[in-house]
Amino acid sequence: MDIKAFSELFPLFNTASPETLEWLLSVAVQHSYPKDRAVLMEDAWGNAVYFIVSGWVKVRRLAGEKAVTLAVMGRGDFFGEMAILDESPRSTDVVALSDVELLSVSAQRFIQTLFKDPQLHHRMLQLMVQRLRHFNIRFQIRNQPPAIKLAKTLVTLAEEYGESTEQGTEILLVPYDDLAQISDIGVEETAKIMEKLESKEWVETDKARQSLCLVHLKQLSHLAGRV
Contacts of 219 (CB under 8 A, 6+ apart): 202
Is the pLDDT confidence value at 91 over 70? no
Which residue segments constitute the domains of the chain, with CATH numbers given? 3-139 (2.60.120.10), 144-224 (1.10.10.10)
Exposure string over 113-132, b if 16+ CB within 10 A, otherwise e: bbeebeebeebbeeeeeeee
In the beta sheet, which residues pair with residue 90? none
pLDDT of residue 35: 96
Task: Determine the average pLDDT of the residues in 50-65.
Answer: 90
Sequence-ordered alpha helix ranges (H) in the chain? 3-9, 18-27, 81-85, 107-116, 118-140, 146-161, 176-183, 187-199, 217-224
Task: Determine the average pLDDT of the residues in 194-198.
Answer: 97
pLDDT of residue 47: 84
Residue that wins the pLDDT comparison between 129 and 92: 129
How far is it, in rounded angstroms, from Cα 161 to Cα 170? Answer: 9
Among residues 42, 37, 83, 41, which one has the least CA distance to residue 56?
Answer: 37
Task: Determine the average pLDDT of the residues in 113-130.
Answer: 89
The mean pLDDT value of the chain amounts to: 90
Considering the chain, what percentage of its residues have pLDDT values greater than 90?
65
Q: How confident is the model at residue 87 (pLDDT cuts 50, 70, 90)?
A: low
Q: How confident is the model at residue 90 (pLDDT cuts 50, 70, 90)?
A: low
pLDDT of residue 63: 73
DSSP H or E segment with residue 213? strand 211-214
pLDDT of residue 139: 77
pLDDT digits (tens, 9 = 90+) for 166-179: 999 999 999 999 99
How far is it, in rounded angstroms, from Cα 106 to Cα 84? Answer: 9
Residue that wins the pLDDT comparison between 125 and 174: 174
pLDDT of residue 62: 77
In the beta sheet, which residues pair with residue 51? 78, 103
Is the pLDDT confidence value at 12 over 80? yes
Length of the chain: 227
pLDDT digits (tens, 9 = 90+) for 131-153: 888 888 777 788 899 999 999 99
